[in-house]
Structure formats: C-alpha cells, structure tokens
Amino acid sequence: MKKIIILITAFLVVSCNTSETKNEEVVENLTKEEKFEKLYLKIVKPLFKEFTEVDIPNEFRIDKHDISVNAGAATNYVEVSQGLIDYDKDYIKVFVLAHELGHLVTLKQAEQFSLGIEIPNGVKTNAYKKAEYLADIIAVHLITTQEVELGNDLTTNFGILQNLLGPEIFTHPGAVDRVALMKEYVEKSTNGNAKITFQEIFIRTWNME
C-alpha cells in the first residue's frame, strides 16, 4: 500500500510539473498579436470598468503597413499599428491604448463632472488639442491608480513617451506640453488625493483658454 501511495504521489508531481511546463510553453508560443490582444483585454479594457454606460470595444484591427507607434479608437473597435504591436515596452502599449479609449469616455467623464456635452474651444487651445490633453490625463490616472507597476514604469520613463508623442500640430499639442501636464498630475496625486487631483486637472483642462 505504501508503494502505491508513493507511486501515485510521484505521478501527481510529474503531472503537475508537465502541466505547468505546457502552460509556460503556450504562453511562450503566443504570437506578438496574441500577446497584444491579451494585454488589451486583461489589462487595458478593465481600466475603464467604471464607465459602464460606454461600450468599450473588444475587437482591434491591425494596420500592418504602419510601422510607427500609433493607434485610434472607434465605437466598435480599436485600430493599432504594426509598429505598436512590435514595440518592446508594455507600459507604452498600455498608455497608447488607454489614451485612445480615453477619447471614448471623455464626454461621459465630463458629464460626471457637470461640464457639458461638448469640449469648448479656447482662445489659444482648440477643442482638438483639449481632447488630447484630456485623454492623456484619463489614461495616466487610470493606469497609475489601477496598475501600479505599469504606472511606475510609465511615470519614471516619461522621456521615452515624450519622444514618441511628436510635435505640435493643429489637432495635437506638442509632446513637451502633454508630458508636462501628466507630470503635474503625478506629482500632485502622489502628494494628495488622486481622484481630487484628476478632477481638478480635468476641469481646468476642459476650460483651458
């Protein structure tokens, strides 16, 4: 009887080890696209769980001809560049995706803050640029408060993000200004209440001249 128990125990140990090895192999054998989809569904989409009235898409499409780090969001899908999928830093991927989803929830967030249903143009800052600032703040707030490790990676490497964001154009603020606003949020939220800081900066940006 003892020998049988020992053999059964040994079999279970071998089975568990084999199962773990197979699971590891499955993870290792995922394509870049599959890993990206897993990152989106398991990490990024859940960041927006509080926005229950907004339909956050499950599907994403890949522009295989675009090798830049780029993405865009629509109501039914997120479009990403091959360059974003190939990029080697997860915190950048998460930020880019969260920023794009941030556009989808901006007006709902504004409604929660009693700001209206349309981003107003300022004298110096048009509504397009404000939309980019607001999506940045939404993204960095959600990442740093819900995915702390990725948030730390992001906030300690803002220089890398800044190099990817590009110069000022009619629809987008310049990278330096965008990162400066995110840094302000991080500094103030670290020393105070993150939700209050987020609300204050969101409202100020919404009303920016």
Residue 127 above 60 pLDDT? yes
- Give 84's Cβ-side CA count (13 Å radius): 28
Residue 5 above 60 pLDDT? no
pLDDT of residue 60: 86
Task: Render pLDDT for 23-60 as a digit per residue (tens, 0 to 9).
Answer: 544 556 999 999 999 999 999 999 999 999 999 999 98
pLDDT of residue 19: 46
| Residue whose C-alpha is closest to residue 178's, from 114, 64, 82, 95 | 95
Task: Render pLDDT for 162-199 as a digit per residue (tens, 0 to 9).
Answer: 999 999 999 999 999 999 999 999 999 999 999 999 99
Cα gap 129→131, rounded to integer Å: 5
Continuous H helices in the chain = 2-28, 32-39, 82-86, 90-112, 127-146, 148-155, 158-165, 175-190, 194-206
Q: Which residues contact 41 (CB under 8 A, 6 or more apart)?
A: 58
Type of residue numbered 92: I
Domain range annotation of the chain: 1-30, 31-206
pLDDT interval class at 75 (50, 70, 90): confident
CA 111 to the chain's CA centroid:
22
pLDDT of residue 2: 46
pLDDT interval class at 21 (50, 70, 90): very low
Q: What is the mean pLDDT of residues 8-13?
A: 36
Cα gap 75→4, rounded to integer Å: 60
Cα gap 29→168, rounded to integer Å: 40
> Which of 5-19, 28-42, 62-76, 83-97 is least confident?
5-19
Residue 3 above 80 pLDDT? no
Cα gap 202→182, rounded to integer Å: 11
Task: Render pLDDT for 90-125 as a digit per residue (tens, 0 to 9).
Answer: 999 999 999 999 999 999 999 999 999 999 999 999
- CA angle (62, 59, 31) in 5-degree steps: 55
Cα gap 175→153, rounded to integer Å: 18
pLDDT interval class at 9 (50, 70, 90): very low
Contact between 84 and 93 (Cβ < 8 Å)? yes
Task: Render pLDDT for 58-67 as a digit per residue (tens, 0 to 9).
Answer: 998 999 999 9
Residue 15 above 50 pLDDT? no
